[in-house]
């Protein structure tokens, strides 16, 4: 039990991501997962990336909070990869994953994660909402075609923004340099989340 986070309502993670679940467990707080069914395609990708990920995170959290029927603090999160202002979300298929990784090879890109904390009452009304965003710069080394195709063939990149996971056994060796929060690249900036959760204590 985390004695520094005495939250005044139950905590809920509105995400199906096993990576976010594992990261949140590191904070030592009790929580449960309620997956949001919000349609991510409803948010246009032409808006600035920080706004984009915060909008998605808030929409996911609100979707859960408004139908929960109990007092709770709901965490929503969304992560995307950005190269020269262009958003790279999850690939559509293996060929799209190869295309993205080829674009990222020997370049520096940005990873943005938006978080939203939504406190709700039993009647579904929203008591309080906080959103924030974390940004990390990631530099890839030069990747060979064989490395890219081999990684994609394993299936791991297909459910990840930018078609890679920095925590993967093989995806990790693509990364040459990182500036910013490592956990942000995995999918949940713990230091930022912890500071914002303290506002609910």
- For residue range 23-47, what is the model confidence (pLDDT) as tens digits? 999 999 999 999 999 988 889 989 9
Q: What is the helix (H) or strand (E) element at residue 179, kind and residue range?
A: strand 175-179
Residues with a known catalytic role:
78
- Cβ atoms < 10 Å from Cβ of 134: 24
Residue 78 exposed, middle or buried by CB count within 10 Å (0-12, 13-18, 19+): buried
The CA-based angle 77-186-174, given to 5 degrees, is 145
Q: What residue segments make up the domains of the chain, in order of their start?
A: 11-200
Specify which residues 18 forms β-bridges with: none
Cβ atoms 116, 56 nearer than 8 A: no
Q: Which fold has domain 11-200?
A: Maf protein (3.90.950)
Confidence band for 1, pLDDT divided at 50, 70 and 90: low
| Span 98-124, pLDDT tens digits | 999 999 999 999 999 999 999 999 998
Helix (H) or strand (E) holding 151: helix 145-153
């Amino acid at each position: 039990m985390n004695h520094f986070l005495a939250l005044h309502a139950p905590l809920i993670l509105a995400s199906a991501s096993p990576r976010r679940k594992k990261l949140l467990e590191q904070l030592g707080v009790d929580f449960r997962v309620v997956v949001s069914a919000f349609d991510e395609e409803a948010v246009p990708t032409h808006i600035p990336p920080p706004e984009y990920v915060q909008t998605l995170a808030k929409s996911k959290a609100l979707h859960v909070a408004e139908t929960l029927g109990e007092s709770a603090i709901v965490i929503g999160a969304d992560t995307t990869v950005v190269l020269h202002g262009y958003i790279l979300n999850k690939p559509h298929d293996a060929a799209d994953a190869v295309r993205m990784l080829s674009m990222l090879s020997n370049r520096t890109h940005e990873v943005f994660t938006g978080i939203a904390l939504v406190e709700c009452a039993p009647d579904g009304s929203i008591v309080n909402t906080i959103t924030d965003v974390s940004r990390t710069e990631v530099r890839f080394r030069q990747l060979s075609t064989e490395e890219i195709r081999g990684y994609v063939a394993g299936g791991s990149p297909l459910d990840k923004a930018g078609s890679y996971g920095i925590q993967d056994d093989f995806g990790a060796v693509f990364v040459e340099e990182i500036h910013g929060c490592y956990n942000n690249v995995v999918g949940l900036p713990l230091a930022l989340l912890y500071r914002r959760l303290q506002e609910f204590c």
